Amino acid sequence: MTVTPVKPQRPTTTLFFSACVATLGTWYTAGYFNCALNVPQAYVISWIRHVECRRHENHENHTENYILWCGPLTEYEESLVLRDNVKLNTIWSIINSIVAAGLIVSAFSFSCFMKRFGLKGTIYIASASHLTGSLLAALISAVEVYELLIVGRLLCGFAEGLTGMGAVMYVSEITPVKLRGAFGTIPMVMLVLGFLTANALGLPMLLGTKERWPILLALQSIPVIIMCICLPFCPDSPRQLFLMKGDKIGAEKTLIWLRKNADVQDELAAMQRELEMQNKGEIGPPVPLFGIFKDQYLRYIFGICAVPMAVKQFSGYVCVMYYSTSIFRKAGLDHLYSAYASLAMWLVYLTFSLISMSLVDRLGRRVMLLLSHSGMMVGMSLFTVFMVLSGQYAVDWAKYACIGSIFLWMAFYTTGSSSVSWFLPSEMFPQEARTAAMTWISVLSSGCSVMTSFLFPLLVLVLEEYTFLLFVAVIAMGTVCIISTLPETKGMTIDQIQILLRQRFKQ
């Protein structure tokens, strides 16, 4: 297919400002609160055990249950406390996986919020939910009720779902075609900056202590407040203004402000063609939530987009995000060096996120995903081998090889899978189906996240080091599907992508 040449396009300060503001209180905050409990995990688990102990001490003194929760632990017994205390392991799994449950709830309500309040209004509502969840999480040490932490993270997960989808759509719709791939990685860059901040502040010499870890949770509200202050200075999406509200003058003013250039007629013409197609019935009204699965063509696109997202979530990423410190401890590092290894891992993530920004529009989405998946399979396979050598055969150098292989896996994960799987649906679905499609992609992502984050601690008890081979198998199967189904959309406008997809669908 011939791709129409497009004029040179460059990033502007206004475009960069709008994209960063939209992702600061959404993706950056999501990265922060998802990783906030990673480094101080041992102190949080000890605190939960203390809360349960106080509930048992008045009426179960010296019983087996009382000893389980209140008995003193040696350093070795403390490292195995999740294995020996099934209820404690379950509580910890729920605390981590409840975020994804909130994401699922928000996914089904996203389209309703979008229709009623628009993109920016939805982000404001989600911010209120996040601030409430942050307040509950900050109060847990004062009231000694760990259930507040679960409710708080549920509310934060709900907010993450609303704002995450909204921010991705917003960035995609304000960005010109030639920059869409690079700017599509901004949410992931913000996410890893949140990871880095949480891990750095969670170090033992800062807030990762027995007394100060609740402060780490309270700080997650700061970027949300900053975003709410700056968001009024960002314009509405020009596509939303033109296609949904019919405000052509407003769309033109917004494009001129974003591009810092009055020559925006090509973009307006593309929107006008899409509007005319919609008026002629070639593009229908907004697709309802379940309409994605009733239309054969939309099901076809959903299948293409679902595979990269499923691979992303079942690649081991969720487990590394929540449990990296404990994984490194299991590999043989002490608590402090495990925290340093986690921090270095997120630095690798940040570095390769920035590298991928320059590569995705040059190499293309398909090539980036295949490259990413191949590297992830190698990295996770090596990690399994070195974990076996370190654990079962007590090979001392293998623990450092474990760190290196996780870094290798993270580098390739970041190169393609982390970002392409998110902005691919916003490119491939037509305008009228985009909201419903992003909803279902988010549901898929969250459902996979719930499964992996909840089941991982339980599977490790059974499969131990070989748990990670399950991720390798999923990546391999997903790669085969991508080779056979995913077309390359590099450099194409949204209407050109639709023509290509319809041609492939008819074949």
pLDDT tens track for 115-147: 788 777 888 888 899 999 888 888 887 788 888
Which residue has better confidence, 428 or 453? 428
Q: Are 297 and 443 members of one domain?
A: yes
Rounded Cα distance, 398 and 120, in Å: 49
Rounded Cα distance, 18 and 80, in Å: 47
Q: Are 368 and 414 members of one domain?
A: yes
Q: Which domain holds residue 172?
A: 13-234+284-506
When divided into structural domains, the chain yields a total of 2
Mean pLDDT score of the chain: 82
* 53 within a domain of the structure (yes/no): yes
Rounded Cα distance, 258 and 324, in Å: 39
* 444 within a domain of the structure (yes/no): yes
* 6 within a domain of the structure (yes/no): no
Q: What is the three-class DSSP state of 295?
A: coil
pLDDT category at 477 given cuts 50, 70, 90 is very high
Q: Are 243 and 105 members of one domain?
A: no
Q: Which of 283, 318, 352 is the last residue of a domain?
A: 283
Q: Across residues 399-425, what is the average pLDDT?
A: 87
Total residue length of the chain: 507
Rounded Cα distance, 301 and 501, in Å: 8
> Over 60: is that where the pLDDT of 8 sits?
no
Helices (H) and strands (E) in the chain, counts: 26, 0
Rounded Cα distance, 75 and 72, in Å: 10
Q: Are 274 and 288 members of one domain?
A: no
Q: Are 267 and 407 members of one domain?
A: no
Q: Are 119 and 92 members of one domain?
A: yes
Q: Are 112 and 214 members of one domain?
A: yes
**Residue 388: both structure tokens together:** 């076996």
**Residue 450: both structure tokens together:** 């719930």
Name the least confident of 14-18, 178-182, 350-354: 178-182
pLDDT category at 480 given cuts 50, 70, 90 is very high
* 7 within a domain of the structure (yes/no): no
User: How far from each other are the two terminal CA atoms of the chain, in whole angstroms?
Assistant: 15
> Over 70: is that where the pLDDT of 28 sits?
yes
**426, 169 Cβ separation under 8 angstroms:** yes
Q: Which of 259, 283, 307 is the last residue of a domain?
A: 283
* 252 within a domain of the structure (yes/no): yes
**Residue 323: both structure tokens together:** 């449990």
Which residue reads 């960005």 in tokens? 175
* 3 within a domain of the structure (yes/no): no
Q: Are 331 and 276 members of one domain?
A: no
pLDDT in tens, 278-322: 676 656 667 887 888 888 888 999 999 899 999 998 888 877 877
CATH number of the CATH domain containing 461: 1.20.1250.20
Q: Are 279 and 206 members of one domain?
A: no
> Over 80: is that where the pLDDT of 73 sits?
no
Q: Which of 251, 283, 315 is the last residue of a domain?
A: 283
List the one residue out of 146, 156, 36 whose CA is nearest residue 91: 146
pTM of the predicted model over 0.85: no
* 5 within a domain of the structure (yes/no): no
Q: Are 143 and 226 members of one domain?
A: yes
* 2 within a domain of the structure (yes/no): no
Q: Are 396 and 486 members of one domain?
A: yes
Q: Are 89 and 131 members of one domain?
A: yes
* Environment class of 282 (CB within 10 Å of its CB; exposed 0-12, middle 13-18, buried 19+): exposed
